[in-house]
Amino acid sequence: MPGFELFSDLERKEVKDVLDNGVLMRYGFDGMRNGHWKAKELESELAKTFQSKHVQLVSSGTAAVSVALASAGIGAGDEVIMPTFTFVASFEAIMMLGAIPVLVDIDDTLTLDPKAVEEAITSKTKAVMVVQMCGSMGDMNALNEICDRHNLIFVEDACQAIGGTYNNKPLGSIADVGCFSFDFVKTITCGEGGAVVTNNQEYYLNADHYSDHGHDHVGKDRGAETHPFLGYNFRISELNAAVGLAQVRRLPEFIAIQKKNYTVIREALSKVDGVTFRRVPEGGEESYAFLNFFLPNLEIAREVSKAFKENGIDVCFHYYDNNWHYIRKWEHLKELKSLFPVSKEVKEGLKYLETKTYEQSDAHIARNISCLIKLSWSEEEVLQRASKMAEIVDSFTS
């Protein structure tokens, strides 16, 4: 991770095909494009990859979450349960619909704690969104059972976990609706892009229309299409889709490289006293995009993180002090710093953040270090990196 590390002639060929053809928009211009439909091709490839009936490409992972929720009928005043550890896009996408993000604790999977989810359900709860952070998953059976019992929409944000599986099912294909990102730093990239994945025909058609100004895409004359309901512009371009089309066909290659590099580093760290690893639920297999490990306490984690940087060990993150991925630093959310007036429902719904604390999440994130696994490392670089990381960690834990 990420796919841009290994751009090849395959990506160049697909992009050149679009430029030679001259149609950069995914819809319309049928007579000009001579049968070239990169977005449609990519949706078909992704459906095979995710073992799902329907895929709707959109402009980003953030757009995918908003479109997925809207397609399932989530909107103003509805509560969506989500984890404290995720990217800021998760709550942004919820709030854009006028819905209320209800943040709850994570467990040692670094994803939603089912017990915390159960405790957070109210009469306003309409959906539970698990975020498969850093290449792995939550307790999907337990979360799915909770959603079934309470008649809630189960949403799976697998933006960071493409290639991972749970009980042999691809992550992102397990819940009622799944979301993916193909931005520049994902395992497969379109530059910018995302996808909504579902087996639900109604959700798919809603996503198809909603992401393109409400167009119903019936017939071959775009100007004559009707609008069954309001929509917005979350379209992907043919250029972005062309890059993704080449990349998704290389996904097995990328996952194999990630697994090899991940395994070397994990084996080195596993020999160091005081190091433990995130829990992967039984039946699950990570995408190997990140290696996540725990240290004995916050102080040691901070010292190790600092030492990694000083010794050239890059792309390792201590999220406890991170502005983008953990609630501790989300002051703009807690204080509702918005360019436009926030709705009364959202204002009231987020008052809990004024006093809410997350000791359980803090205990996990404070001790966690998450290391991105690069595709471009040579075998020698991986071995040197593993040895240096183990040496540094051991110096603080022994």
Question: Which tens digits make up the pLDDT trace of 107-147?
Answer: 999 999 999 999 999 999 999 999 999 999 999 999 999 99
Q: How far does the chain reach from its first CA to its final CA, in angstroms? A: 31
Token pair in block for residue 239: 């250029």
Fold of 3-250: Aspartate Aminotransferase; domain 2 (3.40.640)
Residue 67: what residue type? V
The mean per-residue pLDDT over the stretch 264-279 comes to 98
Provide the sign of the torsion angle of the four alpha carbons 101, 102, 103, 105, taken in this order.
negative
Q: Given pLDDT bands bounded at 50, 70 and 90, which one contains residue 241?
A: very high
Q: What share of the chain is helix, strand, coil (3-state, %, to 5)?
A: 45, 15, 40
Query: Does CATH number 3.90.1150.10 belong to domain 252-397?
Result: yes
Pairwise CA distance, residues 373 & 247, whole Å = 17
Instruction: Give the model confidence (pLDDT) of 63-84 as tens digits.
Output: 999 999 999 999 999 999 999 9
Residue 132: name the closest of 284, 20, 303 by CA. Answer: 284
pLDDT the model gives residue 391: 98
Residues involved in catalysis: 186
The mean per-residue pLDDT over the stretch 202-208 comes to 98
Q: Is the pLDDT of residue 1 over 90?
A: no
290 beta partners: 372
Residue appearing with tokens 């290639």: 163
Residue 66: what residue type? S
197 beta partners: 55, 178
Residue 254: name the closest of 188, 193, 191, 192 by CA. Answer: 188
Pairwise CA distance, residues 298 & 303, whole Å = 9
Per-domain residue ranges of the chain: 3-250, 252-397
Token pair in block for residue 4: 């841009």
Pairwise CA distance, residues 335 & 131, whole Å = 23
Instruction: Give the model confidence (pLDDT) of 314-366 as tens digits.
Output: 999 999 999 999 999 999 999 999 999 999 999 999 999 999 999 999 999 99
| pTM for the structure as a whole | 0.97
pLDDT the model gives residue 374: 98
Residue appearing with tokens 């929720």: 69
pLDDT the model gives residue 233: 98
